Amino acid sequence: MSLDLAYLFLAAYVLDLILGDPKAWPHPIRLIGRIVTYWERILYRPDVSAGILFWSAVMGSVLSMTLILLGTLSRMWAPLEAVALVYLAYACLATRSLHEESRPVEEALARDDLSRARQKLSLIVSRQTAHLDPMNLRRGAIESVAENMSDGVVAPIFYGLLLGVPGMILYKAVNTMDSMVGYKNEKYLAFGRLAARADDAANFLPARLTGLIVALAAWLLGLDGKEAGRVLRRDRRNAGSPNAGWPEAALAGALGIRLGGPSTYFGVIEDKPYIGDADHEIGGRDYARAIRLLYAVSMISAGAAFILMALTGAGPWGLIGLAV
């Protein structure tokens, strides 16, 4: 199954590039969201122990459902299992959807429609967008692309390589829990603590890999790979997150722009440090180059994973499955 797994992954990756994320299709990640909501409703209490039980229940549910589905299809007809593996892996990848979700902001700015650009940006970032000017609207769109290069592209591929398609699904469960309960507010500070820290831990290596791959991709595309590395070393801790600063700093350096800085969240201004140097005002050309970097990072990551899967004989549980 080793070479087959590599080609199943390749099929999933190509599907992501072609199809993106059609909203009308059933989506495993939305099902994970419903599982999170179900267990939160049953187990919520404002303390850490309830959060640990909640996290364990979600992970156990997602893993059990994945294994039961794949096992059942395998016993029915092996090609059905292959189709399910491709679809599950495809659902975990987000290269095209990251482009499609940020593109309406740039399209609105190209038409000088600030109101629509602000509304579209508000769908993909948590900061308030009502008073942002064109440069800061583009900054927000580019930051979203940069940060999600790790969550939506490199990390799922990384865990697919290590743990196969079940590893990709489990990673998305960790990521989804953080996005739903990993907030530092009164309701979730204790309950969501494990969810937030587990997401930080799961993204620790992928985020750092993403920063390095961004610098490599910048060099391959004729952008400033050297500056990407310099800003990465200097500003990687400036995002207020243990992980987000790595891809953001590398991308800011590659494009010669400045990301980060003060932003308003729920009516409160957070004075975040800047990432990168303001060589020029952020414009449409910078957004276009950020998207080129997104696809380059995605293809480098997927290509490396495919080669390793094929050469090492990784089975259904990825490289770690070879050692057990």
Task: Report the predicted TM-score, pTM, of the whole model to 2 decimal places.
Answer: 0.94
Looking at residue 64, what is its pLDDT?
97
Number of Cβ within a 10 Å radius of residue 112? 9
* SS3 (DSSP) at 68: helix
Q: Work out the angle at residue 214's Cα, subtended by the Cα atoms of residues 213 and 215, and round it to the nearest 5 degrees.
A: 90
CA distances (Å), origin 234, targets 11, 205, 263, 274: 38, 18, 21, 11
pLDDT per residue, tens digit, the chain (324 aa), is 444 789 999 999 999 999 999 888 888 999 999 999 999 999 999 999 999 999 999 999 999 999 999 999 989 998 899 999 999 999 999 999 999 999 999 999 999 999 999 999 999 998 888 889 999 999 999 999 999 999 999 999 999 999 999 999 999 999 999 999 999 889 999 999 999 999 999 999 999 999 999 999 999 999 999 999 999 999 999 988 899 999 999 999 999 999 998 787 766 777 889 999 987 889 999 999 999 999 999 999 999 999 999 998 887 778 887 766
CA neighbours within 13 Å on the CB side: how many for 144?
A: 26
Domain span at residue 216 reads 2-322
CA distances (Å), origin 147, targets 79, 115, 242, 312: 36, 24, 12, 30
Q: Which two tokens stand for residue 176?
A: 């989804």
* SS3 (DSSP) at 260: strand
CA distances (Å), origin 126, targets 49, 140, 323: 28, 10, 41
Q: Which two tokens stand for residue 178?
A: 């953080």
Domains: count for the chain: 1
Residues in the chain: 324
With 0-12 CB in 10 A as exposed, 13-18 as middle and 19+ as buried, what is 68? exposed
Whole-number CA gyration radius for the chain: 20
Looking at residue 2, what is its pLDDT?
42
